[in-house]
Amino acid sequence: MKNNTTDKAVLAKVFDLMNDWILESQNPDTPVIDYHKPEELQKILKLNISPEGANIDEILVEIQKYLKYAVKTGHPAYLNQLFGGFNFPAFLGELVTALTNTSMYTYEVAPVATLMEKALMEKMIGYTGWKSGTGSLLTGGSNTNMVAMLLARNVKFDGSKMNGIPSGVRPAVLVSERSHFSMLKGANTIGIGQNAVIKVPVDENGRMRGTAVQNAFNKAVADGYTPFILCTTAGTTETGSFDAINEVSDFAQTNNLWHHVDGSWGGSSIISKKYQHLFLGLEKADSFSWNPHKLMNIPLICSALLVKGNNVMREEIQSYDSDYIYHSNDNSDYDLGPASLQCGRRVDSLKLWLAWKFYGDEGYAKRIEHLYDLAGYCTTYVENHDDLELLFPTQSLNVNFRFRTPEGIDVDAFNEALRYKLIETGDAMVNYCILPKGLSIRLVLLNPDLTQEDLDRFYNRFLNAAYLLLKQWQKPVVKVNSL
């Protein structure tokens, strides 16, 4: 049996390692990743677990290795995905959360975290314009979308909580063609099937508009479907577009559709008065996904589902054979578990509460506004550079562009290869997506510590890598597989 007592010296060492890693992550001259192919990394890591175990010094070595090869998602050259940045108060909250290891089902085992989550949900609902609402922190934006669909299904098809979907009905979900893939997963999970997700075409700015929704709805009905939920996106994954929430809210109300707004990516913009106009019509919607682990830089996972009204979540989710855990007493009204699909649920409230307390509404609004300014800066940079091409009009915090290639070089294949070069060298991490014009480098602004100099540095590295790659480009023209 191993001795499990803590060792202050080891703890101090781990804190030192973490501190070094944070400093390295903030230093633009360190690589954003020490990249190795999976087979190589596997050899380096030696991941076998021996029967006799290891001592704590060996554990420290493993932690060092983990940190060495981890992607520095708070690094100024990390522009890759819809999460990242380093949020110190939230990080402290995450540490304390792990330390106190508890579950969110009852007030009894998580008194402070429960009250914090309730306070946060109330605060977030305050931005929606609803008279009342409830919310819950779930395991990611995808799951918030899925649970919104489930609630809509149960509300719109009476009895389906207990008996499933009534026979003879073909429920359908209306979403923008640029909505997140979690809509498909959600439809699969709630038992209506992915084919029941009807994709509504978007306009030239990637926005779903009222007329297109009307047409898609009419067609779905003519095809024998019963649409029951309309999902708009507040910040699409690829182009950061905001659907015309107000226009389609009215349509949803008139046609008895649940209206869910997926603000997983752009939702936090609502904190800034300057960008609240993007959410016009949210007050008429039924539910809202808001992912603080994206634009508020809270460590993964931190995702809220907010639902209009007082009891919908609890009524449509709760099951009744749970008296081994939920007891009637003076604090049971505070239990959050009945309104959750999970039993054990980690504490995601502390880190968000601490960060929000630290920055305040104004601090967060400034952070977010700074990011919108930087998106404008990047857009202008691309527009003013002869070798770069903007692939989509910038809508919010996603800047889509590519390197222009000379005649005879496949522009998609080149840009894809260029992106991998940047990762291999550790110069930058930036992702790509496929847009109507082709493969697009998608630069995401979400780290509020970024400066214009950081972005200049990124573009310099991007261009230098492109010029170098051009010299080496001798491959025959091949189309990228994923296109």
Ligand X SMILES: Cc1ncc(COP(=O)(O)O)c(C=O)c1O
Whose Cβ is closer to ligand X: residue 31's or residue 141's?
141
Assess 291 for contact with ligand X (CB under 6 A): yes
Question: Is 280 in a helix, a strand, or coil?
Answer: coil
The distance of closest approach from Cβ of residue 311 to ligand X in the complex, given in angstroms and rounded to an integer, is 26
Q: Judge contact between 295 and 446, C-beta under 8 A.
A: yes
Assess 25 for contact with ligand X (CB under 6 A): no
The distance of closest approach from Cβ of residue 223 to ligand X in the complex, given in angstroms and rounded to an integer, is 26
- Tell me the residue length of the chain: 483
Candidate ranges 164-172, 231-239, 350-358, 434-442; the one touching ligand X (CB under 6 A): 231-239
Q: Residue 375 has which token pair? A: 């998106």
Assess 82 for contact with ligand X (CB under 6 A): yes
Question: Is 265 in a helix, a strand, or coil?
Answer: coil
Q: Which residues contact 35 (CB under 8 A, 6 or more apart)?
A: 423, 424, 426
Number of residues counted as binding ligand X (CB under 6 A): 15
Q: In this chain, which residue has its C-beta nearest to ligand X?
A: 141
Q: Which residues contact 390 (CB under 8 A, 6 or more apart)?
A: 379, 382, 383, 399, 400, 401
Assess 225 for contact with ligand X (CB under 6 A): no
Assess 182 for contact with ligand X (CB under 6 A): yes
Assess 265 for contact with ligand X (CB under 6 A): yes
Q: Which of 72, 75, 153, 180 binds ligand X (CB under 6 A)?
A: 180
The distance of closest approach from Cβ of residue 345 to ligand X in the complex, given in angstroms and rounded to an integer, is 15
Q: Judge contact between 403 and 462, C-beta under 8 A.
A: yes
Strand partners, 472: none
Assess 348 for contact with ligand X (CB under 6 A): no
> Torsions phi, psi of 443, nearest 5?
-90, 125
Cα separation, 156 vs 174, whole angstroms: 14
Q: Residue 45 has which token pair? A: 């890591």
Q: Which residues contact 413 (CB under 8 A, 6 or more apart)?
A: 475, 477, 478, 479, 480
Assess 398 for contact with ligand X (CB under 6 A): no
Question: Is 429 in a helix, a strand, or coil?
Answer: strand
Candidate ranges 30-38, 257-265, 415-423, 434-442; the one touching ligand X (CB under 6 A): 257-265
Q: Which of 233, 239, 405, 447 binds ligand X (CB under 6 A)?
A: 233
The distance of closest approach from Cβ of residue 212 to ligand X in the complex, given in angstroms and rounded to an integer, is 18
Assess 232 for contact with ligand X (CB under 6 A): no
Using CB under 6 A as the binding rule, the residues of this chain from 127 to 146 that contact ligand X are 140-142, 145
Using CB under 6 A as the binding rule, the residues of this chain from 350 to 369 that contact ligand X are none
Whose Cβ is closer to ligand X: residue 352's or residue 388's?
352
The distance of closest approach from Cβ of residue 264 to ligand X in the complex, given in angstroms and rounded to an integer, is 3
Burial 216-255 (b: 16+ CB within 10 A, else e): bbeebeeeebbbbbbbbbbbbbbbbbbbbbbbbbebbeee
Q: Which of 136, 176, 237, 405 binds ligand X (CB under 6 A)?
A: 237
Assess 262 for contact with ligand X (CB under 6 A): yes
Residues that bind ligand X (CB under 6 A): 82, 140-142, 145, 180, 182, 233, 236-237, 262, 264-265, 291, 303
